[in-house]
């Protein structure tokens, strides 16, 4: 028993020694540091790193035909978002403006008040679609990932009495945030 | 006292909503070209005879269009056929869905009855 106590006492006395030896030199990031004795301590801080890639710059929505006007909408594939992150992430979607930009193609003026909500989105073509607005809405979220793919589907609303001929475009904003 | 301050600051911190840290923003565009559409549908025909002996054939049509339109009626009778008198009710309009148009065709007994095909209906953009 006495022998064990002595051993523990020796251990306590010896344990700070390596700490003293390595205190002589430290570097953080790209800083240079050298030491003639002891150990070299290198500190690297990993921030939250991410990568958001979208499969297409422009989504060409199919031009509606009379049947689409009668049905009231068209369904099409949107971009696929690929997220890489070393920490938690949340992908959100929003419209950059409340209405679509409209350019006339015939003497009849194009509709200038087509709301952003005429485009709705979903991650499941058979699922629930959510109207787009200027307020970001969460599409998906996850933890650290080497590549999570989030496919998006768009549904565009058309109404006979409102959607006059023209070229229409809507800027869609995708945002990655730490939840 | 310090303890109380710490408790208060902890409560304030908990009550303050923490906004998500935005890391990246990417903008993409959705584009669509909406062509012009005008659709004319026949909804039915009804005949009646007025008290003055004039027969009236009502041709019910329906117009769906995403632009301003006008119904054009083109008689197609040849020389053996008398072009009937007719009038169009609601024959033009703005973008609309299933807007009703009525074409009334008039003739008297003894006149050659105006068959529907003697008038050709078409929609034109205005």
The tens digit of pLDDT for each residue in A100-121 reads 999 999 998 999 999 999 999 9
Quick one: DSSP state of residue B35? -
- Which chain A residues in 60-119 lie under 8 Å from chain B, judged by CB atoms? 60-66, 69-70, 78-79, 89-90, 96, 105-106, 108, 110, 119
Cβ of A125: how many Cβ atoms within 10 Å?
Answer: 14
Residues of chain B neighbouring A174 (CB-CB closer than 8 A):
25-28
Q: Closest by alpha carbon to B102, among B113, B117, B91?
A: B91
Q: Tell me, what's the ipTM?
A: 0.74
Phi, psi of A66 (to 5 degrees): -60, -35
Question: How confident is the model over B64-110, as pLDDT tens digits?
Answer: 999 999 999 887 765 566 667 889 999 999 999 999 999 998 877 77
Residues of chain A neighbouring B97 (CB-CB closer than 8 A):
69, 159-161
Specify burial of residue B26 (Cβ count, 10 A radius: 0-12, 13-18, 19+): middle
Q: What confidence score (pLDDT) does residue A28 get?
A: 64
Q: What confidence score (pLDDT) does residue B109 get?
A: 73
Specify burial of residue B89 (Cβ count, 10 A radius: 0-12, 13-18, 19+): exposed
Q: Please state the pTM of the whole predicted model.
A: 0.73
* pLDDT band, very low/low/confident/very high, at A44 (cuts 50, 70, 90): confident
Question: How confident is the model over B14-53, as pLDDT tens digits?
Answer: 444 434 566 788 999 999 999 999 999 989 999 898 898 8
Q: What confidence score (pLDDT) does residue A179 get?
A: 83
């Amino acid at each position: 028993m006495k022998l064990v106590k002595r051993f523990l006492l020796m251990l306590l006395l010896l344990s700070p020694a390596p700490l003293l030896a390595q205190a002589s030199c430290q570097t953080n990031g790209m800083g240079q540091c050298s030491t003639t004795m002891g150990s070299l301590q290198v500190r690297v801080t990993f921030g939250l790193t991410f990568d958001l890639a979208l499969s297409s710059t422009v989504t060409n929505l199919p031009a509606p035909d009379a049947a689409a006007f009668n049905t009231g909408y068209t369904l099409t594939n949107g971009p696929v978002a690929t997220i890489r992150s070393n920490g938690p992430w949340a992908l959100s979607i929003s419209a950059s403006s409340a209405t679509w930009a409209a350019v006339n193609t015939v003497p009849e003026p194009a509709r200038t008040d087509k709301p952003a909500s005429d485009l709705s989105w979903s991650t499941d073509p058979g699922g629930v679609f959510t109207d787009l607005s200027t307020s970001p809405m969460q599409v998906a979220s996850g933890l650290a990932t080497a590549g999570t793919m989030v496919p998006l589907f768009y549904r565009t609303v058309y109404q006979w009495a409102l959607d006059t001929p023209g070229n229409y475009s809507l800027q869609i904003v995708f945002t990655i945030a730490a939840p | 006292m310090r303890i109380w301050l710490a408790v208060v600051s902890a409560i304030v911190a908990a009550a303050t909503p923490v906004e998500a840290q935005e890391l990246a923003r990417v903008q993409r565009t959705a584009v669509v070209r909406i062509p012009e559409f005008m659709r004319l549908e026949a909804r039915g025909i009804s005949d009646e005879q007025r008290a003055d002996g004039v027969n009236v054939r009502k041709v019910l049509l329906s117009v769906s269009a995403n632009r301003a339109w006008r119904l054009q009626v083109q008689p197609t009778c040849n020389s053996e056929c008398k072009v009937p008198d007719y009038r169009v009710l609601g024959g033009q309009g703005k973008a609309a869905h299933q807007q009703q148009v009525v074409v009334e065709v008039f003739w008297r007994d003894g006149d050659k009855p105006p068959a529907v095909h003697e008038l050709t209906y078409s929609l034109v953009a205005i």
